[in-house]
């Protein structure tokens, strides 16, 4: 099953696209530099945080909750960083510790109403790097004025104690090498299963025993620790994509400690992994059709005729590179799997559509370079190295959070569904699951989250979101005992701070002043 990251990394994609694709004649627009306008700076204040909030904390956890944080300036004006010690195993703190990395942007007003924890998604995206490097994507001026905005790397991610599997060369082979044999053949599937097993074994060998503890429930307990050591009685939180599952899990565990919580790009926690992957396949296919409609109106579109004609031509193009891979200028071979990854990467945001037109034009003309650039952006690869461990962390969390499933009969039924509802990507979507080779059995369960006893929780859903389809947000808001749904009518991943003032103003009003959005708010 191919699961795609439900992540806020669209900001990172946009920034890197400017660097790697600039100057291509086929690209008709440049991404505006004003998107990266700086937040008004404030001087960082190093030193200790407010006194830790330890009310109601068990005695064996007091050594963690009573930590006094020491901040030091980092990442430019207005930012400071620290680390927090957390138990590897929250059910048995004697199992040792791990480290959580934090960055803080101090409230520009100088009078914060509290901390606002954020999570950009993934699982596996770095909250430290996105707050430090792209703060204006995480929170707008109103939030950065009134809150100390906190980015953190969840356990297993980035600058925290991290999952480690492969070096760049081996990760290249794992992500990009074309396996032997015809698609669907025993030879090919056996090769993929061996590849998965080798990857899983490397993760076990190189991750210092942390794999059993890389779970969303443990990460949610870490968030309560962060709340405490930051000195907040309640958790204020803005979570994107996977961050909505993390936030909902926190609300399930600690409903009375929830302050003001917004979950943007809601994930339905009741869905099994196979349904998540299938819904994403249909979501990306739907967005691909919308892209094609726009593409056909552009002079640089490599397709012609109707949307159906263009989709059929793209199917033929995928089949062609599946049978005859293209060689890029760096020597890597582009097959259908990597081309599909490139397509998916560009569908997270309408602003990436010109680059997708360029990539598909290049592939049609026998040039794989732009397609590889898009796939590399998705995989966190730049100049032959990997800038983060998002690939490893993504798999580690999913393999622990989702119970194993997919019998042969279920797989056959799922393939039939994809053939009907996502015919372009269907031949390339399902593949042997790395989690079947994972060295630690999953501990997560799937089921509705109600968070009885919490205050209102605002959920944002976008009607044309491919990575976290809109029905998931509707389902999550309906499950939560105090769920309140905001609908953004539009394309692309996520809704807040995306140019829709109706959504942004409603979220800001709730987080800053506690004003709930109008019932059934729908923002066109």
Q: Has residue 14 got a pLDDT over 80?
A: no
Query: What pLDDT score does 20 carry?
Result: 35
List 337, 349, 369, 493, catalytic entry = 493
Query: What pLDDT score does 371 carry?
Result: 98
Q: Has residue 28 got a pLDDT over 70?
A: no
If you search the block for the tokens 């009885």, which residue do you land on?
A: 452
List 115, 207, 241, 287, catalytic entry = 241
Radius of gyration of the CA atoms of the chain, in A:
22
- Type and span of the H or E element at 115: strand 115-119
Q: Do residues 477 and 247 lie in contact, with contact meaning Cβ atoms separated by under 8 Å?
A: no
Q: At what angle do helices 336-346 and 307-323 cross, to 10 degrees?
A: 140
| pTM tops 0.85 | yes
Which tokens in the block code for residue 387?
Answer: 């800038």
Which tokens in the block code for residue 135?
Answer: 């703060």
Going by pLDDT thresholds of 50, 70 and 90, the confidence category of residue 2 is low
Q: Is there a catalytic annotation at residue 241?
A: yes
Q: What is the mean pLDDT of residues 396-407?
A: 91
Percent of the chain with pLDDT over 90: 88
Q: Strands 115-119, 235-240: parallel, antiparallel or unpaired by DSSP?
A: parallel
Q: For residue 120, which of 105, 139, 140 has the smallest C-alpha distance?
A: 139
Q: For residue 289, which of 266, 275, 309 has the smallest C-alpha distance?
A: 309
List 337, 376, 406, 465, catalytic entry = 465
Give the model confidence (pLDDT) of 147-183 as tens digits: 999 999 999 999 999 999 999 999 999 999 999 999 9
Q: Is there a catalytic annotation at residue 465?
A: yes
Residues whose CB is less than 8 angstroms from the CB of residue 519 and which lie 6 or more positions away in sequence, other chains included: 484
Which tokens in the block code for residue 259?
Answer: 């302050």
Cα–Cα distance between 474 and 487 in angstroms, integer?
Answer: 9
Query: What pLDDT score does 410 carry?
Result: 82
Q: What is the mean pLDDT of residues 350-377?
A: 97
* Polymer length of the chain: 524
Query: What pLDDT score does 23 carry?
Result: 30
- Type and span of the H or E element at 317: helix 307-323
Query: What pLDDT score does 33 carry?
Result: 25
């Amino acid at each position: 099953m191919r699961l795609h990251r439900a992540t806020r990394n669209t900001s990172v994609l946009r920034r890197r696209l400017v660097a790697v694709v600039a100057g291509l004649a086929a690209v008709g627009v440049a991404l505006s530099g004003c998107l990266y306008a700086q937040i008004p700076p404030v001087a960082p204040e190093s030193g200790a945080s407010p006194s830790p909030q330890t009310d109601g904390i068990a005695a064996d956890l007091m050594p963690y909750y009573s930590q006094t944080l020491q901040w030091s300036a980092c990442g430019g004006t207005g930012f400071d960083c620290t680390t927090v010690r957390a138990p590897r195993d929250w059910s048995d703190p004697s199992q040792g510790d791990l480290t959580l990395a934090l960055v803080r942007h101090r409230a520009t007003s100088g009078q914060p109403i509290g901390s606002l924890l954020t999570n950009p998604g993934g699982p596996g995206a770095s909250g430290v790097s996105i707050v430090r490097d792209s703060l204006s994507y995480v929170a707008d001026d109103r939030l950065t004025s009134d809150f100390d905005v906190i980015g953190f790397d969840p356990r297993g991610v980035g600058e925290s104690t991290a999952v480690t599997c492969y070096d760049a060369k081996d990760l290249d082979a794992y992500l990009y090498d074309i396996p032997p044999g015809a698609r669907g053949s025993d030879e090919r599937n056996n090769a993929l299963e061996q590849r998965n097993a080798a990857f899983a074994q490397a993760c076990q060998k190189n991750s210092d025993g942390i794999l059993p503890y890389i779970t969303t429930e443990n990460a949610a307990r870490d968030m309560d620790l962060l709340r405490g050591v930051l000195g907040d009685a309640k958790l204020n939180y803005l979570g994107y994509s996977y961050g909505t599952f993390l936030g909902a899990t926190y609300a399930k565990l600690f409903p009375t400690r929830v302050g003001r919580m917004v979950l943007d790009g809601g994930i339905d926690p009741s869905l099994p992994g196979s349904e998540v992957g299938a819904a994403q396949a249909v979501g990306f296919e739907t967005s691909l059709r919308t892209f094609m409609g726009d593409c056909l109106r552009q002079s640089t579109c490599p397709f012609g005729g109707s949307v159906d004609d263009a989709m059929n031509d793209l199917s033929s193009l995928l089949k062609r590179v599946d049978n005859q891979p293209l060689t890029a200028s760096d020597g890597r071979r582009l097959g259908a799997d990597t081309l599909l990854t490139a397509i998916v990467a560009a569908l997270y945001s309408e602003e990436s559509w010109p680059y997708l037109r360029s990539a598909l034009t290049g592939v049609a003309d026998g040039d794989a370079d732009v397609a590889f650039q898009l796939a590399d952006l998705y995989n966190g690869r730049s100049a032959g190295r990997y800038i983060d461990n998002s690939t490893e962390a993504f798999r580690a969390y999913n393999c622990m959070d989702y119970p194993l499933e997919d019998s042969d009969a279920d797989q056959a039924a799922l393939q039939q569904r994809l053939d009907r509802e996502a015919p372009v990507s269907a031949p390339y979507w399902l593949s042997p699951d790395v989690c079947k080779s994972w060295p630690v059995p999953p501990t997560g369960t799937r089921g509705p989250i109600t968070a009885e006893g919490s205050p209102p929780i605002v959920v944002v859903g976008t009607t044309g979101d491919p990575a976290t389809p809109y029905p998931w947000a509707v389902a999550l808001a309906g499950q939560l005992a105090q769920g309140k749904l905001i609908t953004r009518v539009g394309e692309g991943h996520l809704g807040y701070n995306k140019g829709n003032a109706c959504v942004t103003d409603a979220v800001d009003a709730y987080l800053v002043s506690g004003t709930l959005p109008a019932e059934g708010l729908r923002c066109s």
